[in-house]
Amino acid sequence: MAGYQVPRKFPTTVVGSYPKMPPAEEALKKRRQGIVGEEEFHRLARDAIRMVVEDYLWAGVDIISDGEQTREDMVVYFAERLEGYSIGDWVRVFDNVYFRKPVVTGKVEWRQPMIIDDWEYARSISQGRPVKVILTGPYTMLEWSFDLHYGDRRELIFDLARAIRREIEEAIARGAEYIQVDEPALSTRPFREEAELLKEALEIVFKGVQAKRIVHICFGRLERILPYILDYPVDQFDLEMKNSNFRLLPYLKEYGYDKELGFGVVDVHSFQVETVDEIREAIDRLMKADIIGPEKVYVDPDCGLKRLPREIAREKLRNMVEAARIAREEW
C-alpha cells in the first residue's frame, strides 16, 4: 500500500490480539448459536476491527493487526475452519478435568480462506500502514489438539504446515508483506527434538515465501533451545522480553544472534502502564548489549494484548510508540 513509510529504525508493531470489542463479542455469540454463517460473522466483526485499528492509529503503531477479533481461541479458530478436525468434543485431560480441545479425526487440509477477510478489512482502513498476517503455527496446533487419526506427530505437523502455507499463499497473492506464525507452545516444551521438529515444519510453511517471515514465541525457558532455533527459515523472531526482565539478552549475545528481533517491551500481564522512560531504557539496554543494529529492532509488546482492558492496552501502545520515536533520535 502506498503512502506510509515504516521507519527504518525501531519500527513499532503489535503481536496480534487486542481486547475484544463489544461488536466482536456479539458476533462471536451469534456464530456460536448458529444464527449467522461465516460470511455474515466476519461482516459483523468489522465494527470491532475498525475500533481496534482506530486505537492503533491513535497510538501511532507502524505495522498493525486486525486485533484477532473473530478468534475466541487461537487453536480452535483454525481447527473449526480446517478439514480433518471435529470441534465440540470434550476431552478428558485428567481425573474429572475436561476441556474443549480440537480433535483431529481425519486428514488435515486447507479448505477455504480463514483469516483473509478480517485482514483485508483492517488493511482497507489502515491509512496505508502494513497489516500483519498472523496465524497460529503448526507446532502449537499440534500440541494443543488431540489426535485420533494420525498416531504420528510428524505426519500431523507436516499436514498442518501445508495447510498454513496454503493460507499464506492466499494472503501473499493479495499483497501481504508481513507474515507471522505464533508458536507459544514451543516454550512449554523447550527440548532440542521439539525445536527441530518445528524447524522442519517451518521449512514447509515458509519455503520460497516472498514476504517478511516472522515467528512469535513467548514465555517459558526459551534460552534452553535458543541454539536450535536460530537457523529457522525466518527473518525475524518476535520475543517476549519485558515479563522475564530481558533475561534472554545475554544468551542472544552469546549465540551471535543476527536476525531481526521483535523486541517485547510491554508486559501484557500487568495493568501497570509502562512509562515512556521505562520503555526507552529497555531499548537502550538492547542497544548497549551490542547484538544487532537499530534497523533490525521492531519494538512491540511481549505478546497479544487481549487480556488487558482497552484503555490500558492503548496507553501502553502510545507510550511504546513515543519511546521508539525518542530512541530513533538517539541511536
For the CB of residue 66, give the shortest distance to Zn ion in the complex, in Å.
16
Other Cβ atoms within 10 Å of 151 Cβ, number: 8
For the CB of residue 303, give the shortest distance to Zn ion in the complex, in Å.
3
Distance CA 248, CA 241 (A): 7
Query: Which residue, 19 or 184, is less far from Zn ion as judged by CB?
Result: 184
Query: Which residue, 15 or 104, is less far from Zn ion as judged by CB?
Result: 15
Q: Which residue, chain included where needed, has cell 517478511?
A: 212
Binding span for Zn ion by CB under 5 A among 66-74, 113-121, 139-147, 180-188: 180-188
CA-to-CA separations, 83 to 28, 108, 110, in angstroms, rounded:
21, 5, 6
Task: Say whether residue 181 binds Zn ion (CB under 5 A).
Answer: no
Buried b (16+ CB within 10 A) or exposed e, 264-280: bbbbbeeeebbebeebb
Task: Say whether residue 239 binds Zn ion (CB under 5 A).
Answer: no
Query: Which residue, 259 or 325, is less far from Zn ion as judged by CB?
Result: 259
Alpha helix stretches (DSSP H) within 174-248: 192-206, 226-229
Q: Which residue, chain included where needed, has cell 478428558?
A: 92
Contact at 8 Å (CB) between 146 and 91? yes
Task: Say whether residue 14 binds Zn ion (CB under 5 A).
Answer: no
Query: Which residue, 45 or 218, is less far from Zn ion as judged by CB?
Result: 218
Cell of 282: 529497555
Query: Which residue, 108 or 299, is less far from Zn ion as judged by CB?
Result: 299
Give the type of residue at 203.
E
Cell of 213: 517471515
Query: Which residue, 15 or 44, is less far from Zn ion as judged by CB?
Result: 15
Segment 259 to 318, residues that bind Zn ion, using CB under 5 A: 303
Contact at 8 Å (CB) between 314 and 58? yes
Distance CA 209, CA 72 (A): 28
For the CB of residue 259, give the shortest distance to Zn ion in the complex, in Å.
18
Binding span for Zn ion by CB under 5 A among 87-95, 169-177, 215-223, 311-319: 215-223
Binding span for Zn ion by CB under 5 A among 40-48, 57-65, 178-186, 244-252: 178-186
Contact at 8 Å (CB) between 164 and 185? no
Query: Which residue, 104 or 317, is less far from Zn ion as judged by CB?
Result: 317
For the CB of residue 316, give the shortest distance to Zn ion in the complex, in Å.
15
Give the type of residue at 302.
D
Query: Which residue, 20 or 31, is less far from Zn ion as judged by CB?
Result: 20
Buried b (16+ CB within 10 A) or exposed e, 162-198: bbbbebbebbeeeebbbbbbbbbbbbeebeeebbebb
Handedness of CA 133, 139, 140, 146 (dihedral sign): positive
Binding span for Zn ion by CB under 5 A among 69-77, 156-164, 179-187, 189-197: 179-187
Task: Say whether residue 218 binds Zn ion (CB under 5 A).
Answer: yes
Task: Say whether residue 186 binds Zn ion (CB under 5 A).
Answer: no
For the CB of residue 144, give the shortest distance to Zn ion in the complex, in Å.
13
Query: Which residue, 14 or 327, is less far from Zn ion as judged by CB?
Result: 14
Binding span for Zn ion by CB under 5 A among 128-136, 176-184, 190-198, 271-279: 176-184
Segment 68 to 97, residues that bind Zn ion, using CB under 5 A: none
Query: Whats the size of the chain, residue-wise?
Result: 331
Task: Say whether residue 157 binds Zn ion (CB under 5 A).
Answer: no
What residues line the site for Zn ion (CB under 5 A)? 184, 218, 303
